[in-house]
Amino acid sequence: MSKAASRPPTLSAKEYLVLEMLVANGPSYGLQLVNASSGRLKRGTVYVTLGRMEEKGYVESEPDPDAADHLVLPRRIYRPSGYGLKVFEAWQAMQRVLEWGPAHLSQQWEGSR
């Protein structure tokens, strides 16, 4: 197993947001994600984030199959990969576990010992 593969997956706040929107809104292209994010994603960096997520294996992309104009580049449609969905669910579960805050969790930990 490679060193990178042995590390637990990481998900930045932007990557989490992208996955959240892709799960909620279905397959989208970059500009749609920017418009739906109400200013949390920027046009100049959305494709950098999507490119990084694709390299990490969190999203998959394909050229827009409905593109009719052959003179212009087809838009790239992104959807969460199976691995990306698992990471997203794991992150949500972790958030649920940790949302009580450090004080409450410490008390619970002490009580269980």
Partner 1 sequence: MSSADRPRRVPGLRLRALAETLFDQATAHRILLPAIADLQHEVAESKDAPGAASVFARCRSYAAVWRTFAVCIVTRSSPSQWSTWRQLLVGAVAVLVVLTAGLLYGPLTRTGLPNLERLAVFLVPQALALSIPCSVLGAGLLGQWSPKQAGNPGAFVRGILAYSIIAAAASLIVMIFVLPAANQEFRQQVQAGIQMKSGRVPSNLVMPKGYPEMTVGELREVRRRATLQARWPIGEQASYYLHLKGALPAASLALCLLAIALAPWKRKQRFPGVAGLALSILTVFAYYLAFAGGRWLVFAMAAPAWLGAWAPPALSSVVAMLILWRGGLEGQPEAAGGLGPVPAPRG
Which residues would be at the binding site for partner 1 (CB under 8 A)? Answer: 29-31, 42-45, 47-48, 50-51, 54-55, 61, 69, 71-76
The residue behind tokens 């009719």 is: 68
The torsion angle over the Cα atoms of residues 102, 103, 108 and 113, rounded to 10 degrees, is 90
Rounded to the nearest whole angstrom, what is the least distance from the CB of residue 14 to partner 1 in the complex?
A: 13
- Cβ distance to partner 1 smaller for residue 39 or 102: 39
Radius of gyration of the chain measured on its C-alpha atoms = 18
Q: Give dist(CA 11, CA 107) in Å, integer.
A: 28
- Cβ distance to partner 1 smaller for residue 13 or 72: 72
The residue behind tokens 């409905």 is: 66
- Cβ distance to partner 1 smaller for residue 76 or 79: 76
78 contact partners, CB below 8 Å, separation of at least 6:
18, 22, 27, 28, 29, 30, 33, 50, 54, 59, 60, 61
Rounded to the nearest whole angstrom, what is the least distance from the CB of residue 51 to partner 1 in the complex?
A: 4
Rounded to the nearest whole angstrom, what is the least distance from the CB of residue 11 to partner 1 in the complex?
A: 17
- Cβ distance to partner 1 smaller for residue 61 or 92: 61
Rounded to the nearest whole angstrom, what is the least distance from the CB of residue 110 to partner 1 in the complex?
A: 43
